[in-house]
Structure 1
Amino acid sequence: MIRTISIKNTATFDETGIEVSEFKKVNFFYGANGSGKTTISNFIYEPSNPRFPECQLKWENDIELKSLVYNKEFRDRNFGKGTIDGVFTLGQATKEEAELIEEKRKELKELKEKGIQQKSVLDKQVEKRDSLEDDFREEVWTSIYKKHEISFKEAFKGVMQKKPFLARLLDEFENNTSDLKTIEELKERAETILGETPIKIPEIPTIDFERLSEIEQEDIWSKKIIGKSDVEIAKLIQRLNINDWVNEGKKHLQENETCPFCQEETITQSFRNQLESYFDETFTSDTKKTKDLNDDYVRIFENIINELLQIESTEKINKKTKLDLDKFSSLLKTLNSQFLTNKELLNSKLREPSRIIELISTKEQLEEIEQLITTANALIKKHNDIVDNYATERNKLVNEIWKFIIEDNRTRIEYFVKHKNGLQKGIDNIAKKVTELREEYKKLDKEIKELTKNVTSIQPSVDEINQTLKSFGFQNFEIVPSQIGANQYQIQRTDGELAESTLSEGEITFITFLYFLQLVKGSTNEAEITDERILVIDDPISSLDSNVLFVVSSLLKEITKKIRNNEGNIKQLILLTHNVYFHKEVSFINGRTKECNETNFWILRKIDNISYLQDFELVNPIQNSYELLWRELKNKDNNSGIAIQNTMRRIIENYFKILGKYGDDDLIDKFNNPQEKEICRSLICWINEGSHTIPDDLFVELQDNTIENYFKVFKSIFKETGHIEHYNMMMN
């Protein structure tokens, strides 16, 4: 059966729409034209139609049944094409064959009930397992994920929602073989490896200062560079210690005799020769060496200082620097100061070659700087090695984090897994039984289809439709075999003319509904005549007169009676109508039963072009109107005998049996005259016969004088029981 339907964003149903969740075996929907009844019936017929993208339909126990839907679209699909598909029923089955098929169908029904029972048990076990899992999921989310979210958030990437987190936790519980580390170690490594993906850091260039140290240690700096001592002028220069002064003055000797010292013309060639001899080749060589060493030292030192300044500048803007910048900057400042001092000493040596100087050794400072760079480069290499093996290192850390979490929560996880596995084992066993029952069901269903296939016929359906047509006065047309194809039929008039295009609206409606009722009992496919199904009927009485309307309601009441009693293969009825009288008739149970727990009622309304649904549950919102019954009786000239019979029965039931506590015999005994007593007895029998059955010979219309005679007796019942005033009031 259908369990729930939801309809929205289609036709007159807005985004809120309606939801029906209390379907019973028999369901009545009352609604005016245009309120959305046909939309409901079309949706049930074809839920996958693109017209219903946001509508949903759910079946009880997820077992989908065949839906037979009667509405305007049904008539368009089956009539208007010239031929009608034949409907197969068990018309040719012998008594033994029919009994065998019925026995098999009972077995099939029992199998289905067992399957539903086992499915129900399965659903409960699944619900119990899911509930256990839901509770555990909330527990681990709060006590594990939230606890470690800040420290190990990156390790939880991809499972940062409750369901995937639990799935990962259970997977790690089963498969994680990593080493167990402490939480402190994991957090420390997580700061480096987790977080932003690391990138390689360039190594800091190393400084070559070997040559600088060599220059600083040169012997030339402690050597007095003076002229040749065996020259005559040497004694004076050395005694006066003016070696550097004379050497400097020598550079200013001119070609003439003017002395650069006294500016007198005292310079002779002999004096020139003595100066040249004094400042000999050794002197020249030593002073040149001093100058060259000075130039090299300054150049190398300036290059080193520039490189170190560049390193300092680069590392200051490097957020990931491994260099001890504070110490590096301090050493660099000291080194620069030493350079300036040594530079000054070297300049003094150049000015005064005879001066002895001692350069400050920068070796210690440079070695410390070199050590800082070496240490930083070692850390950079370690970092870069991690980058090169980042995926491996990261996966290793993540696995170790999960290992810690598993071991820290092992007891509670083991408890959950044990109980879940126990429930799952039970679920698997029950699921296996359900599968076996389904296979057995399919096998038996196939066997029934084979049995019915051999004993089905479409002729009984045709005969029954034609007989019903004649029974209710449709004498001038019938269904006959078509010349076009096998199992195809046409509507033909008595003169042989095809009648489909010339039928009235009422005739088309009635024959369409009779054809639908044959489909209810059979199928156009001979292998499907025993399939279980549901019926959806949308306003089957449009354009019908009251005589035929009563017939349709009587036929439907027989169907609802069988559905409530679990007879046959019709499992559910959904009826939609806009006709109040038809609704009252078809939903009427009897004069004593007002409600049935297998029946539900709704009213469908359209307000401002939007459809709304009101649920009345077991209470029929279209109450049986006592006044309406009398109105029908007053209009007896326009109604058939069948409708009058039913109306009389309903009035007697409501007024005498319900209000007056009269039974049939009580009413009959009110008549003293034996002849009148027999007339009353005959009337009551006639009423009961006509109101509950359709006699086989009803195609013979009742005579008007018969109706009048019994109408007089009906009036006499009120007179003889002392209620003639009530009769007069109701008949006006």
Structure 2
Amino acid sequence: MIKNINIKNVATYDNQGVQFDDLKKVNFIYGANGCGKTTISNFIYDNSNPKFNSSSLVWQNDFPLKVLVYNKEFREKNFGKGKLNGVFTLGEATAEQIKVIEQKTEELKAIKADEQQKRETLDKQKKTKDELENSFKETTWTKVFKKYETSFREAFQGSMHKETFKNRLLQEAESNYAQIETFENLKEKAETIFGEQPQRIDPISQISFDRILEIETNDIWKKIIVGKADVDIAKLIQKLNINDWVNQGRDYIQDDTCPFCQEKTITKDFKSQIEGFFDETYLNDIKQLKELKNEYHSLTQNDINQLNTIEANQKSLSNSKLDIDKFSAYLKTLISQNTANNEFLINKVKEPSRSIELISIKEQADLVVELINQANSEIKIHNDIVTNYTTERSNLIKAIWKFLVEEYKNEISQFNSKKNGLDKGITIIDTKYKAKIAEYKTLDAEIKHLNKNVTSIQPTIDEINRILKSYGFLNFEIVPAQEGGFYRIQREDGTVAETTLSEGETTFITFLYYLQLTKGGISEVEVNNERVLVIDDPISSLDSNVLFVVSTLIKDIIKQIKEDRGNIRQLILLTHNVYFHKEVSFIDGRTKTCSKTNFWILRKNDKVTTLQSFKMGNPIQSSYELLWQELKSEEVKSTLTVQNIMRRIIENYFKLLGKYGDDDLILKFATKEEQEICRSLISWINDGSHSINDDLYVELQDRTIETYKKVFKDIFVLTKHEEHYNMMMNLTKETV
């Protein structure tokens, strides 16, 4: 069955179009000529035509059936060529053969129903699965992607859409065995690896303070260095504590003149005692003292220069691993300590007899070395990353996805459990569904084979001729053509009748041919195919007697469809004839609605077709009632349309009364405008007044609808027929 038709951007249908929702087994569509009925039947017949690109048609369970369309094109196509294709139906078959075919056809229907039920169950399971996957997709996007997008965006490359992200997360849950790391650790790595591609950093030069510390702890700094004690002059020098003063003065003794008093007091013996006091031990100590002092100064100065260079270089690096603030503080203290120690050493050299204690730079040196070692460790890690960037980046991405999977593992587990259950169910149902399709095809082929043996075109000839004679068409009949498989229409004298038939006769015989086609097929294998019928205005040129015949034949089809007999599954009937619509849609005097039937009305206003649905309620009772319904409809907005409807109502109603002349009614209105409008509405009551009306019709077509409606009502009020007006407009005493 067809479930839905949406037609737009073709003929009188604009870009909004119309939509037939929830089509039933039997569907009645009423519409005046030119409102787009044939466009609908043509679309159903061939929706592949490019002009219908904007339109759509939906089949129940996506299972299309054969469509047989009766419309003007059908009549021209089948009657215009001078002969009709033969229609195969059950012919010279025994009762037993027919019974076998009927039994197998019923079996085929049961299989088809079971197949459709399984298809519906399968579609329902697939829909549930789609909803599950869509819900999971939305929640993972919100709770995972959006939450970590800022931190791990680089790891999400290639999965930046909802569907691909969901699929990647499920894939990682299956195959990712990376070690689980903390968010903080992953974020820190991501800042290094996912930023600009890291460049190698040169390690910081190592600084050694070992020799400096060794010099600092030498005993010589505390040793009191003095001359030899057993020399006569020693007692005086030591008593006066002038060792360093005398020692410095030795450098100034050039001859026998004393460098202190400038008298010739320097004797050989005095020189000998002085030299004896400052013996070799003293001189060696002084030598060592000077050497250590110079070495200490050189080493510390060299290290300090290196440290200053390190400080300057590291400050200039944006990616320095050195804690530069601490380093600068430690270096400043170290320099201060070194300055103090250099002062101590200078004084010691000047006065060797004094004992000094140097400030130990060990603590600051250790702190500086520790900072450098820490920085070099981080530099090594960084450089290892640089060396193995691709590998490290890949490992980090795996670690990030593992972290995400671990954090969302409960939701992933629940999703997989539900999805696996649905997949198993879908597989089972799909297997059964395909088995039913295969079973259907096998039985269908068997029925078609049986039909070939028992079908014939002769029963169609006999049935059409029977109906023609039953309804008074005695001067022609259907006969087999000389070419096998065709019919011809022949007069009693044997002449071909196609070219001499009236339009009504042609319409009637082609409709009878169409009805036989709905029961059989052009070939033997089509006889039992399920089908949908679309009938568009089958009585356009028929008299009232034939109209009754056609409606009776169609009502028989409707009855079979509702009772699910035969192979016709659905009927869509389009007509402009009120009487035919009323006759063919009549159920009985007691039953007003049927759940297997829907009604629609097509209207064309301002060259655009619109649709009104009435569901199971038949909107058409008679042409006169239809005019009132059109008048009440909010969809009728054209002044010309409303005026024409009112004129037809007045003509129909007041013709029955027959006692009102034009002037009698016109003069009851006070204003000239109302009199003119009244004249335009009642001018059809009496013959011969159309010329006046036509002028007014053109003159007054721009009047507002409200003005026409007021005058229209007043005609009934002034003629004392207000009750009839209220009844037809469904107005109660409370609403009047």
Q: Which residue in 2 is equivalent to 1:399?
A: 398
Q: Secondary structure at the match of 1:5?
A: strand
CA distance change for structure 1 residues 396 and 498 in 2, over 3 Å: closer, same or farther?
Answer: farther
Q: Which residue in 2 is equivalent to 1:64?
A: 64
Q: Which residue in 1 is equivalent to 2:564?
A: 566
CA distance in 2, matches of 1:397, 1:441: 57
Q: Deviations over 1:631-666 (max 9, x none)?
A: xxxxxxxxxxxxxxxxxxxxxxxxxxxxxxxxxxxx
Q: Which residue in 1 is equivalent to 2:178?
A: 178
CA distance in 1, matches of 2:319, 2:418: 53
Q: What amino acid is the match of 1:409?
A: Y
CA distance in 1, matches of 2:419, 2:567: 40
CA distance in 2, matches of 1:155, 1:609: 59
> Contact 1:509/1:540 (CA < 8 Å) preserved in 2?
yes
CA distance in 2, matches of 1:82, 1:43: 26
Q: Deviations over 1:271-301 (max 9, x none)?
A: xxxxxxxxxxxxxxxxxxxxxxxxxxxxxxx
> Contact 2:29/2:574 (CA < 8 Å) preserved in 1?
yes
CA distance change for structure 1 residues 620 and 379 in 2, over 3 Å: closer, same or farther?
Answer: same
CA distance in 2, matches of 1:610, 1:627: 24
CA distance in 2, matches of 1:409, 1:528: 58
Q: Which residue in 2 is equivalent to 1:666?
A: none
How many Å apart are 1:625 and its aligned residue?
A: 7.1
Q: Secondary structure at the match of 2:542?
A: coil
Q: Secondary structure at the match of 2:75?
A: helix
For residues 22-101 of structure 1, the aligned pairs below 5 Å read 22-101=22-101
Q: Which residue in 2 is equivalent to 1:4?
A: 4
How many Å apart are 1:202 and its aligned residue?
A: 9.9
- Which deviates the most, 161-170 or 553-562? 161-170
TM-score normalised by L of structure 2: 0.60
Q: Which residue in 2 is equivalent to 1:429?
A: 428
CA distance in 1, matches of 2:377, 2:176: 37
The answer for unaligned runs of 5 or more in structure 2 is 203-308, 329-372, 627-736
How many Å apart are 1:151 and its aligned residue?
A: 1.1
Q: Which residue in 2 is equivalent to 1:162?
A: 162
Q: What amino acid is the match of 1:487?
A: G
Q: Which residue in 1 is equivalent to 2:437?
A: 438
> Contact 1:536/1:573 (CA < 8 Å) preserved in 2?
yes
For residues 308-707 of structure 1, the aligned pairs below 5 Å read 385=387, 390=390, 392-483=391-482, 485-624=483-622
CA distance change for structure 1 residues 194 and 507 in 2, over 3 Å: closer, same or farther?
Answer: farther
How many Å apart are 1:393 and its aligned residue?
A: 4.4
CA distance in 2, matches of 1:540, 1:556: 10
CA distance in 2, matches of 1:194, 1:111: 61
CA distance in 2, matches of 1:130, 1:145: 21
CA distance in 1, matches of 2:144, 2:199: 36
Q: Secondary structure at the match of 1:581?
A: helix
CA distance in 2, matches of 1:495, 1:609: 50
How many Å apart are 1:323 and its aligned residue?
A: 11
The answer for unaligned runs of 5 or more in structure 1 is 205-307, 331-370, 629-732
Q: Secondary structure at the match of 2:599?
A: strand
Q: What amino acid is the match of 1:89?
A: T
CA distance change for structure 1 residues 321 and 187 in 2, over 3 Å: closer, same or farther?
Answer: closer
> Contact 1:80/1:501 (CA < 8 Å) preserved in 2?
no
Q: Which residue in 2 is equivalent to 1:19?
A: 19
> Contact 1:322/1:379 (CA < 8 Å) preserved in 2?
no
- Which deviates the most, 534-543 or 5-14? 5-14
How many Å apart are 1:394 and its aligned residue?
A: 3.8
> Contact 1:3/1:58 (CA < 8 Å) preserved in 2?
yes
How many Å apart are 1:118 and its aligned residue?
A: 2.5
Q: Secondary structure at the match of 1:454?
A: helix
How many Å apart are 1:397 and its aligned residue?
A: 2.5
TM-score normalised by L of structure 1: 0.60
CA distance in 2, matches of 1:413, 1:521: 56
CA distance change for structure 1 residues 131 and 375 in 2, over 3 Å: closer, same or farther?
Answer: closer
Instruction: Give the root-mean-square deviation of aligned CA atoms.
Output: 3.8
Q: Deviations over 1:664-690 (max 9, x none)?
A: xxxxxxxxxxxxxxxxxxxxxxxxxxx
For residues 688-727 of structure 1, the aligned pairs below 5 Å read none
CA distance in 2, matches of 1:200, 1:423: 48
> Contact 1:151/1:187 (CA < 8 Å) preserved in 2?
yes
> Contact 1:601/1:615 (CA < 8 Å) preserved in 2?
yes
Q: What amino acid is the match of 2:584?
A: V
Q: Give the total of aligned pairs.
A: 483
CA distance in 2, matches of 1:603, 1:394: 68
- Which deviates the most, 48-57 or 600-609? 48-57
How many Å apart are 1:519 and its aligned residue?
A: 0.8
CA distance in 1, matches of 2:570, 2:621: 23
Q: What amino acid is the match of 1:436?
A: A
CA distance change for structure 1 residues 474 and 487 in 2, over 3 Å: closer, same or farther?
Answer: same
CA distance in 2, matches of 1:54, 1:481: 44
Q: Deviations over 1:162-213 (max 9, x none)?
A: 3332222212111222332222222223234336xx5686999xxxxxxxxx
Q: What amino acid is the match of 1:416?
A: F
CA distance change for structure 1 residues 614 and 379 in 2, over 3 Å: closer, same or farther?
Answer: same
How many Å apart are 1:558 and its aligned residue?
A: 0.6
Q: Which residue in 2 is equivalent to 1:294?
A: none
How many Å apart are 1:503 and its aligned residue?
A: 2.6
How many Å apart are 1:6 and its aligned residue?
A: 1.2
> Contact 2:385/2:392 (CA < 8 Å) preserved in 1?
no
Q: What amino acid is the match of 2:445?
A: K
Q: What amino acid is the match of 1:110?
A: A
How many Å apart are 1:15 and its aligned residue?
A: 1.6
How many Å apart are 1:626 and its aligned residue?
A: 9.8
CA distance in 2, matches of 1:424, 1:59: 26
CA distance in 1, matches of 2:82, 2:146: 72
CA distance in 1, matches of 2:184, 2:378: 25
Quote the sequence identity (%). Answer: 56
